[in-house]
Amino acid sequence: MSVAAILGGGVIGGGWAARFLLMGWDVRVFDPDPEAERKIGEVLDNARRALPSLSDRAMPAEGALSFHSDLGDAVGPADWIQESVPERLEIKHKVFAEVQMACRADAVIGSSTSGFKPSELQQGAARPGQIVVAHPFNPVYLLPLIELVPSAANDAALIARAKDTLTSIGCFPLHVRKEIDAHIADRFLEAVWREALWLVKDGVATTEEIDEAIRMGFGLRWAQMGLFETYRIAGGEAGMAHFIAQFGPCLQWPWTKLMDVPELTDELIDQIASQSNAQSGQHSIRELERIRDTNLVAMMRALKAQDWGAGAVLNRAEPPAPEVGDISQPLVTVERAVPLDWTDYNGHMNEARYLQAFGDATDRFMEIVGCDADYIASGGSYFTAETHIRHLDEVHAGARIRVETQVLLGEGKKMHLFHRMFEAERELATGEHMLIHVSLETRRASVPSDAIATRLSEIAAAHAALPVPDGAGAAVGKR
């Protein structure tokens, strides 16, 4: 079992703890704050609600979480140590000195710093090459970007190992090749923040109007395509060169005040705070976090369906499909959490999502018998001819469901499947499906390949000894 040590249990440290823990790592937390356990517990509640919704497979079993009053005890067995203490260099230097007295020499020490360069963090360290910047974005348990910033003191092998670790927990490690204050993303955000402060101070826009300008317009473009790809499209068929030629001169115009920061007077701070309270004060911070998480899950799942941006990262991190077990028993074809966006106005899983889960189960069973992507590309597949679903019990977002599949008939062109959906031992629904093998060239029924016919017949024969499942052959309104 891999072990992560989290130093500092605030918003960022708590997010790191949640991501490591829910990705199957044991997590050891050091934070002298007497409220640390409560605060991390609340972050974990949100993470457990949101992170499994990004996966279409069952996530690893959750690791063990422990809290430690002694820093050395926390870091001793750790493979990865993540520092998220306050942004004061002298505090970080003191923490690193204590860590390196107790930790393994081969452990990676990552810093969540948003501003310091790794060479600054490494000053005076016993093993400078062990320390790197691993700067995340909030919420750490959902957003994949980690700015991984090394210095000349860091060995290439350690950086490669750090990338592998971050990738394995579903993150996107962006290797920043040159040290620079505030790295890449925060420098960009700082520029936008400065301009926003001026727009408020000069009475041009309120905090709410600025946020609407972002989320109703370019923010949506940035979320899936970033800055340069967005502007490349703006250049039309001629591309980026045309865009720069057309809009480059604007950079000389006095549109912004990026190099000039308004004085943060008490009056300006009160103005911004009161506008922000009017904009969002009706929600608690925890409510805003859940609203944010739900929106992020929906957007990231949409990107996942397109295998694009953050969605492509999720696809690469998707756990493997359930293994084929004893074929004399119904096969587990789906294991997953019910995503946040699968619920309806009644607060439980939408009826269309039952069909989606059963459709996924059918797809997995097709793979098991050999009707996989390569076979389909060769010109054969199964089409569903008839479906009957019984909704037996309700299930809510976050519930871990599994589908067990029994073959009722598998011969010739026909494949007759019966799916049962469970949460633990509670049966939620059944789905009965008749599929016909077709030629994708003629779009007509055809016999499957010998390999598929043999594998399907083998499982069907094994399942023939099982009792006929309750509900099989039932029609609507009849028992």
Binding residues: 8-13
What is the DSSP annotation of 220-281?
HHHHHHTTHHHHHHHTGGGHHHHHHHHHGGGGGSS---TT------HHHHHHHHHHHHHHHT
Give the side-chain half-sphere CA count within 13 A for 140.
Answer: 30
Residue 119 token pair: 């060479």
Residues 6+ apart with CB under 8 A from 310: 143, 144, 172, 300, 303, 304
460 pairs with which residues across the strands? Answer: none
User: Which residue in this structure is represented by tokens 């700082």?
Assistant: 190
CA distance 186 to 189: 5
Residue 322 token pair: 């359930």
Cα torsion for 311, 315, 316, 319, to the nearest 10°? 140
The 3-class secondary structure across 353-393, one letter per residue, is HHHHHHHHHHHHHHHHCCCCHHHHHCCEEEEEEEEEEEECC
SS3 at position 467: coil
CA distance readout (Å), 47 to 14, 41, 311, 348, 411: 10, 10, 18, 20, 46
Alpha helix segments (H runs only) across 71-217: 71-75, 89-102, 118-121, 156-168, 185-201, 207-213
CA distance 375 to 349: 33
Q: How far is CA 327 from the centre of its chain?
A: 33
Please list, residue by residue across 339-363, b when 16 or more beta carbons sit within 10 angstroms of its beta carbon and e when fewer do.
Answer: bbbbbeeeebbeeebbbebbbbbbb
Which uninterrupted H or E stretch holds 133? strand 131-135
CA distance readout (Å), 358 to 193, 402, 430: 47, 10, 9
Q: Among candidates 165, 112, 170, 173, which has minimal Cα distance to 145?
A: 173
- Return binding residues for NAD(+): 8-13
CA distance 129 to 106: 10
Residues in the chain: 479
Residues 6+ apart with CB under 8 A from 402: 58, 322, 332, 334, 335, 421, 422
